[in-house]
Amino acid sequence: MAEALLKMSAKRGVEVCSAGIRPGKKVNEEAVKAMREIGCDLRGHKPRHTSAFSDIKFDYVAKMDVPDLGDMVTATWIMDWDIPDPAQGGSAEYRKVRQMIADKICKELPHLLAQPPKRSAPSLNLTQMDSDRKNLTRIL
């Protein structure tokens, strides 16, 4: 959900990825439903392990509900967003976590957003990713 929310609102030149230390085989159906409510389709997303990005240096890594990632990813900055894993909850828990993520994006990464954030996020303004990579900011 975090990757999708930031991709939906990021300005051009921001590359967003997501990974986990114990990724599922597919995206949780409750996450798919929660994101569909705000117009985002996660059905084609494939969960990835952090090792898939071991050769990339990120500008910023937001870790959620995981231990130290220092030996798993390379980053200029790693922040603990203190957002719980909603996997054991139902639709309400996924909506709550979706909003927590949207709020964190607006608070911690406003310089990466295409439009100034509205307080009623998560329905942040959409911007297409640019294929021009010369001013790339990488986020995990």
In the chain, domain spans: 2-120+134-139
Percent of the chain as helix, strand, coil, to the nearest 5: 30, 15, 55
Q: SS3 for 24?
A: coil
- Structural Rg of the chain based on CA atoms: 14
Residue 13 has pLDDT above 80, yes or no: yes
The string of pLDDT tens digits covering residues 91-131 is 999 999 999 999 999 999 988 887 654 444 443 332 222 23
| Homologous superfamily in CATH for domain 2-120+134-139 | Response regulator (3.40.50.2300)
